[in-house]
Amino acid sequence: MAAAFLIHSAISGTWAPRLPAIKADLGLSDGELGTALVGLAIGLLAGTQSAGAPVDRFGSRAVMRAGFPLLCAALLLPGVAGSGPALFGALLVLGLASGLLDVAMNTQGIEVERALGRPILSGLHGLWSVGLGLGAGAAVLAAAADLDPLAHFAIVAALLALASVVAMRGLLAPRHLAAEAAGDGLEVRWTARLLLLGGLAFCSFVGEGSASDWSAVYLAQELSASPSTAAGAFAAFAVAMAAGRFGADPLRARFGPVALVRGGGALAAAGLLLGLLVHGPVAAIAGFALLGAGLGPVVPIVFSAAGDVAPGATGHAVSRVATLGYVGSVVGPIAIGWLAQGTSLRTALGLVVLLAGLIALGAPAVAPKAAAATR
């Protein structure tokens, strides 16, 4: 199970740092590359949205066993793309496979949580962060060695495909019969609780995407920080998020998911707010670190709570919530840019503070079904 999260994120960490080389090889403008990246966003949304039916019908184990080798093969596509439209299509396929497997492996993680009787999903998401760093680190070395992106992708794809075949043998079999699960899944509808969970995921993904795209820009543009200092903002965010996820499972077992999400949202909001109010690079880096630590446990707990909404159709429930989350990761950074254009980037990042506060207010939505029924 842990290997699935590592492999999934390592693939993302592999191709993204090689985009400058691909852009140069294809002679793309910034706008053309931006258009190609829209393909990835469309693929991710389509993948998460369509994942529920196959996951619930065939089981997360079957989807992961078949899907991970295909995801590894899809890694080759950006390397063989010969034009901007071809790169759009390549990233569309890569995003589709990635989004589908995101739902499948989170569903598998929820099933393992049920079998063990204790939370593990936050730790698995922490491993996802580790895999992203490993993939990106290997990509930096490949770029430094002037290795062609296609050759780099082929080596990584072969190694990860082999690892996935070996690692997927130990996955947990679904508890529900395929026909029963598929029938239940068809009845899953948007409920108030699913919408609230999707909203929490949306808010958290907006924060993650905004930190990724705008933290370094904020330090460089608003605080006149050096490039290395500015880069440290997202590094601090990423490390703190991973640490928050690794520490979240025992805290969730002790204090419950509601307290952890409420505290995480409050920490994220207060931390970033202070980082923005105290006008200095050190404070800003600390603010983004606290944002990462606070948001770290939110999405894993939200996904686990989504599985609790429809235990016989976990794939459908997680699919709906994950789709709303990915919408946040796409539109959030864009909204920050639009707001910054009309005001300032410092003011625009206040939107992230507001959404983190909404996470704290919406925390009761992640209460286990039995507990929610008695409140």
The 3-class secondary structure across the chain, one letter per residue, is CHHHHHHHHHHHHHHHHHHHHHHHHHCCCHHHHHHHHHHHHHHHHHHHHHCHHHHHHHCHHHHHHHHHHHHHHHCCHHHHCCCHHHHHHHHHHHHHHHHHHHHHHHHHHHHHHHHHCCCCHHHHHHHHHHHHHHHHHHHHHHHHCCCCHHHHHHHHHHHHHHHHHHHHHHCCCCCCCHHHHHHHHCCCCCCHHHHHHHHHHHHHHHHHHHHHHHHHHHHHHHCCCCHHHHHHHHHHHHHHHHHHHHHHHHHHHHHCHHHHHHHHHHHHHHHHHHHHHCCCHHHHHHHHHHHHHHHCCHHHHHHHHHHHHCHHHHHHHHHHHHHHHHHHHHHHHHHHHHHHHHCCHHHHCHHHHHHHHHHHHCHHHHCCHHHHHHC
> Over its length of 375 residues, how does the chain's per-residue pLDDT go in tens digits?
889 999 999 998 898 888 888 999 999 887 888 889 889 999 999 999 999 889 988 999 999 999 999 999 999 999 999 999 999 999 999 999 999 999 999 999 999 998 899 999 999 999 998 998 898 889 889 888 989 999 999 999 999 999 999 988 888 876 654 434 444 444 567 788 999 999 999 999 999 999 988 998 999 989 999 988 898 898 899 999 999 999 999 999 999 999 999 999 999 999 999 999 998 999 999 999 999 999 999 999 999 999 888 877 888 999 999 999 999 988 888 899 899 988 999 999 999 999 999 999 999 999 987 654 444
pLDDT of residue 158: 97
pLDDT of residue 370: 60
pLDDT of residue 358: 98
* Amino acid making up residue 355: L
- Are the C-beta atoms of 48 and 102 separated by less than 8 Å? yes
pLDDT of residue 313: 85
Q: Domain-by-domain residue ranges, the chain?
A: 2-183, 192-374
Considering the domain delimited by 192-374, tell me its CATH architecture.
Up-down Bundle (1.20)
Is the C-alpha dihedral spanning 77, 158, 136, 326 positive or negative?
A: positive
**Model pTM score:** 0.89
> Fold match between 2-183 and 192-374?
yes
pLDDT of residue 168: 87
pLDDT of residue 104: 95
Rounded Cα gap, residues 374 and 63, in angstroms: 36
Looking at 1.20.1250.20, 1.20.58.390, 3.20.20.140, 1.20.120.530, the CATH number of the domain 2-183 comes to 1.20.1250.20
pLDDT of residue 19: 87
